[in-house]
Amino acid sequence: MTERIYNFSAGPAALPLPVLEQAQKDLISLGDTGIGILEHSHRSKAFLAVYEAAEALCRELAGVPENYKVLFVQGGASTQFFTIPMNLLSKDQTADYLVTGSWSKKAVKEAKMFGNVNVACSSEDQNFSYIPEEVNYSEKPAYVHFTSNNTIYGTEFASEPEVPGDTPLICDASSDIFSRPLDISKYGIVYAGAQKNLGPSGVTLVIIRDDLIEQGPSDIPTMLQYRTHSEAGSMYNTPPTFGIYILGQVLQWLKDQGGLSVMQEKNQAKAGKLYDYLDQSKLFKPTAAKKDRSLMNVTFVTGDADLDAKFIAQATAAGLDGLKGHRSVGGMRASIYNAFPEAGVDKLIETMSQFEQENAS
Ligand code: PLP
């Protein structure tokens, strides 16, 4: 078998090896059913057990309160960008958005089709390299939306933003979900495309408070009403069965690791090593404001595009893949989600040190 290499991709991203090994077996026969996971009806007893286990693990790991539903839907986080305002924002209302990167901007663009948007803060003035401290909310926002981790720019909210009164807080947690404990009761909705911390692309996790499900209009397309998925247990139509299966396996792996607090410690240790190296490096510079650094996506540059390209080529040759930064930031980005092994971070630091020695001016 081809040897696996260190995959720093921002998404789809590295998955835990034991999960992939189990999936290999379950592709041929899920348990002793004689039918592979891809071939089981979503209504079969075997798949319902997979579904229920995934949901139960999600509730257990994140401590999801009783008055919230866990939904597995399709269309990626990008579909939530418009499903949320379609259900929760009317023409005469305003929703507040914290704009901390390209994904928040895309969410704003969609929301504007359904109602008014107040950009309560933005860090676009400095290419989204920080999380603004000052937030100016509108009088009575229908909800407040923020992106907890900015995949492209390598910034992350240290904790939930304060919101006025009982305004529902909505979070796009696509790139840091379950990387640390979160208090679901502070949120109206938390959603995430699975392809970074949860599993393959094609399944989107939505954790939503019951009253928000009921609030949505019933004269919008059936598939875009939260109540449809809530009432049908995410089985109104054929759900992304393989995605839900892998997500369940990943959550079991997370539980075996010790849960979200242990994951947070591991993530702090991994990212901490890398930032420590960057802070003392004379060649590589981190691009995100120190107080807002992401534990998931570590962005850095040399300041010389040719040298960046040379480093990326050298790192790729050394078995470190996917380090090229997003074109809007340039340089390098090391995406080190939950499943990314610490040994890969060590190898990256070693490769950077060597490159720095060879390229010292
Ligand atoms: N939000 C964030 C923070 C992301 O990083 C991404 C994808 O990288 C998206 C949304 C878009 O997700 P999807 O491709 O599932 O629509």
Q: Which of 349, 322, 348, 346 is nearest to 333 (CA)?
A: 322
Is 83 annotated as belonging to a binding site?
no
130 domain residue, yes or no: yes
Alpha-carbon Rg for the chain, nearest whole angstrom, is 21
Task: Look up residue 236 and give its two tokens.
Answer: 């109104």
CATH number at residue 52: 3.40.640.10
Cα–Cα distance, 86 to 221 (Å, whole number): 10
Same domain, 84 and 62: yes
User: Beta partners for 320?
Assistant: 6
11 Ramachandran zone, left/alpha/beta (phi>0; psi -120 to 50): left
Q: Is 101 in the pocket of ligand 1 (CB under 6 A)?
A: no
End-to-end CA distance of the chain: 42
Say which residue the tokens 């080190």 belong to: 336
**Ligand 1 center to residue 206 CA distance, Å?**
13
Cα–Cα distance, 213 to 286 (Å, whole number): 41
197 domain residue, yes or no: yes
246 domain residue, yes or no: yes
Domain boundary among 257, 278, 312: 257
Same domain, 192 and 315: no
Domain boundary among 239, 257, 275: 257
pLDDT tens per residue, the chain (361 residues)?
788 999 999 999 999 999 999 999 999 999 999 999 999 999 999 999 999 999 999 999 999 999 999 999 999 999 999 999 999 999 999 999 999 999 999 999 999 999 999 999 999 999 999 999 999 999 999 999 999 999 999 999 999 999 999 999 999 999 999 999 999 999 999 999 999 999 999 999 999 999 999 999 999 999 999 999 999 999 999 999 999 999 999 999 999 999 999 999 999 999 999 999 999 999 999 999 999 999 999 999 999 999 999 999 999 999 999 999 999 899 999 999 999 999 999 999 999 999 999 998 7
Q: Which of 229, 172, 238 is nearest to 202 (CA)?
A: 238
**Ligand 1 center to residue 251 CA distance, Å?**
20
Q: Which of 243, 182, 238, 214 is nearest to 15 (CA)?
A: 243
**Positive/negative CA dihedral, 189, 329, 347, 349:** negative
Same domain, 135 and 266: no
Residue 273 near residue 267 (C-beta atoms within 8 A): no
Cα–Cα distance, 339 to 253 (Å, whole number): 9
CATH number at residue 349: 3.90.1150.10
5 domain residue, yes or no: no
Cα angle, residue 173 at apex, residues 167 and 176 outer, rounded to 5°: 140
Domain boundary among 231, 257, 283: 257
Cβ neighbors of 212 (< 8 A, separation 6 or more) are 87, 88, 168, 188, 189, 226
- The count of structural domains within the chain is 2
Cα angle, residue 65 at apex, residues 110 and 169 outer, rounded to 5°: 30
Residue of the nearest CA to atom 14 in ligand 1?
A: 76
Which residues are designated catalytic?
103, 172, 196
pTM of the model: 0.98
Q: Which of 338, 336, 343 is nearest to 300 (CA)?
A: 336
Same domain, 86 and 184: yes
**Ligand 1 center to residue 356 CA distance, Å?**
33
Domain housing 271? 260-358
Shortest-distance atom of ligand 1 to CA 76: 15
